[in-house]
Each structure stands twice: as C-alpha cells, then as structure tokens.
A and B are shown apart, each in its own frame.
Chain A
Amino acid sequence: MPRERRFIGTVITAAIFIAMEVAALNMMSRSSELQRSWVGSISQGFSAVFWGTGQKIGGYFSLEKQNRALAEENFLLRQKLLESEITEDAPAKVIKGFEYTPAEIVKMSRNRQHNYIILSKGYDDGIKEKSAIITSDGAIGIIDAVSAHFSYAYSFQNSEISISARLGKEGAVGPMVWDGHSSDGAVLREIPLQYRYSPGDTVYTSGYSAIFPPDIPLGVAQDAKIINGSTNEIRIKLFRNFTALRYVTIAHNTSLDEMEEFER
C-alpha cells in the first residue's frame, strides 16, 4: 500500500511539473517572437516523435494483416500475369496448365533429414496431391497428402526431394537437391562437363517436371566439383532462406492426371 501511494504521489508530482513547464513555455511563446518559434519547433519535434512512434507500433501489430493482404494480392497478380501471358505469344500449354492458390505455412520442420511442411489449405480449398509449393523466388516443396483443411508436403529440405533445374534460361538441366545441412544451400547434379557456366549464374526451374512451373528463379551457382570424371556438381545458394518462410503459393498442374495416364 505505501508503495502504491508513493507511486501515485510520484505520478501526480510529475504531472504537475510537466503542466507547469508547459505553462511556462506557453507564457514564453506569448511573450516573445523568438521564443514562440523555438517553442513551436520543440512542440513540432515532440509531436513528430510521438505520432511517429505510435504509427510504428500500430504498423508492427498490423504486420500479420498486411502480410495476408500482400499474399492475396500476390496471388491475384500471379493470376492476372498468367492470363496476360496466355493471350500473348507465350507457350500457352505450359503456363495455362497451372492453378495457383495462396497458402500459409502452419508447421514446418527444419532440423531433420526428411523435413516436412503443413499448409493451411486442404481439399476443401481445391488443393490436390502432387502440387508444387513455390514463392516468387524459390521452390519450397511438393504436396504429398491433403485433408479437408490442411496439406502435408515434403519440404525441399528433404533428402528424397529433387527438383529439375536449369542453369540460366537456356542452359543445361539437372536435378537439384538440398545440400543436407544449410537453410539456403543446394546442389545441382549431373551437369555435363562440356557445358560452361560462370559462378553467379541464376538457376531456374526447368519446366521438365510436371509438378513445378518453369522459370521460377531458385538461386545462384557457386563453385563446382567434378564427379566420377563425367559430370559437374554445382553448389547453389538459394534465394529463399527457409528460416524466414511463412506465405507460399500452391501451383497445381491441371494436366497432371492426363499426363500420368498418357505415360502409363
């Protein structure tokens, strides 16, 4: 009780002190033109700091909402882009065949050799198995099973997953796998020795896979080593760091069933 009283007393004293100082500043600003501009600049600076801080705090708490809105907008823009590309001279059968749905990662493992991802969308949202999980700058995984409201996917950080990737837009194609330990590292295998590349070349999805759409930038090539004297194995630094991942897009090839049926 005495502590509470002391605290209240301190608050009251501080309030009276501030009120008196404000009154003194007010008197000064009314008494002299010089002091008026000085007090004006102080009050402007103070209100700028006060409102700026308030806005920052408000912005921080609305980040999640903004992220959702951006993910939705991203999805809509991707759909629009898709439509515009169909009407132009792009190969319609490749681009047209993918259906995009935004989703949020609700669970993801990162510290195993067989990592997985659980997404917030299921078959009620039109999600199907063997769909790709992508972002604008990376391939994240492949959906393996779906429930009504969730999807279970193999993460790219899974030693069993490989993605068909291409060095540059028109370069050699090979399977790209996780390097097994880092959150932004991969290895591009089976690149023929005769194919010349430069460290820093961008790696894209090849489009040879029926799961991933083509030309999604994945990362940049780094150093290489020769395997069995016949192929290069190139180390890739991924654009997308898996430690900072939350909103993704699910891409489903609408012709997948037909393609699989045809392959049989």
Chain B
Amino acid sequence: MRRRQFILTWIILLVVQMFLCNYFQFTPIVTLSILPAMILCLPLSVGTVPALFIAFGAGFTVDFLADGVIGLNVFALVAVAALRRPILRLVFGTELFSRGEDITIRRNGLLPVSIAIVFAELVFFILYTIADGAGTRTFLFNFGRVMLSTLTSFILCLVAADTLLGENNRL
C-alpha cells in the first residue's frame, strides 16, 4: 500500500516537473527542477542500476512532453542517479546503508537532507547548463545560471523531498 502511495506521489511530482518546464520558465538564467530531489529520495533498497533506469525514463518523459532539447534532462539526471549513493554516503555516512533505513527529514534532520539536495542539484544543473549552452555561453553566465537555478529550485526540491520522505510514504 505504502509502495503504491510512494510511486503515485513520485509520478505526480513528475507531472509537476513537466508543468514547471512548460509554464515556469521566466528567464533563461533560471531553470526550475525538482528531478534531482526525486532521484535522491528514491528508497535505499533501489540500487544504482535501477536508479539509472528510473532517471533515464523520468528525464526522457520530461524532455519528450515539455518544450526543449530532448535528452537534456536525461543527460543531467542520469549523472545524479549515478552519484546518488556517493552523495548519501558523504552526507549521512555509511551507517545509513548498514542500517538499511531510508532517510527522512524528521529522523536525519533538515540540514543534512538540505545539503544532500544541494549536492544533487549542483550535479544536475552543472551538466544541464553546460549541455544547454553547448559551448556558446560564457563561464560567468553558466556559473550564474547554476547558482541561481540551484537556489531557486532548492525550495521546490525541499518540498518535493518532504512529500516523498514523509513517514506516510516510507516503503
């Protein structure tokens, strides 16, 4: 029951992301995305390879159904999926994996979860910005875009993470 609820919440957030891509692009220097948080908040029981496939599928769906370059979200999100476990290990330590417990904001604290989200966002936006600019933008522009996108998306990511990591959604 809880598994189904988690999957449903995840799919709803994916639809939200499509709306963000289609209707909330106000300026080229800011991109809003909750995809990094959605990948980061996958249960620990999901290994790296399944996470890669989930990221690929989610990125492709968003790319296909939203305006933009197809493959851009896939390119950035697959890297987040590959680095998901190292990021979690870096922020929460190896105990998290030995205990086999999923992260929650209440149990693990807001700050560590926020730090993990920021790491995931940085990986995502660095790759996204480089690929989107395709070598035509200056370093300063790309740097500004990564920072602003990370900052503005952070709030949305935190909300998405809280929704996914809430006690009711744990598997």
Contact = CB atoms under 8 A, between A and B. Distances in A.
A24 B73 CA distance: 8
Given A35-B131, A38-B135, A17 B78 contact: yes
A31 B74 contact: no
Given A12-B49, A24-B59, A31 B75 contact: no
Contact of B71 (A12, A13, A17, A28): A28
Interface string A17-52: 100110111111011101101100100000000000
B49 A31 contact: no
Interface residues of B, number: 20
A21 B82 CA distance: 11
B134 A38 contact: yes
Contacts of B71: 23-28, 30-31, 35
Which applies to chain A's interface (DSSP): helix, strand, loop or mixed?
helix
B69 A21 contact: no
B126 interface: no
A94 interface: no
Nearest to B132: A35
Given A20-B56, A21-B75, A41-B135, A28 B48 contact: no
Contacts of B131: 28, 35, 38
Interface residues of A, number: 20
B16 interface: no
Interface string B34-56: 00000000000000110010001
A141 B63 CA distance: 76
A27 B70 CA distance: 6
A8 interface: no
Nearest to B130: A38
A12 B82 CA distance: 12
B72 interface: yes
A16 interface: yes
B49 A13 contact: yes
Interface of B: 48-49, 52, 56, 59-60, 63, 69-72, 74-75, 78-79, 82, 131, 134-136
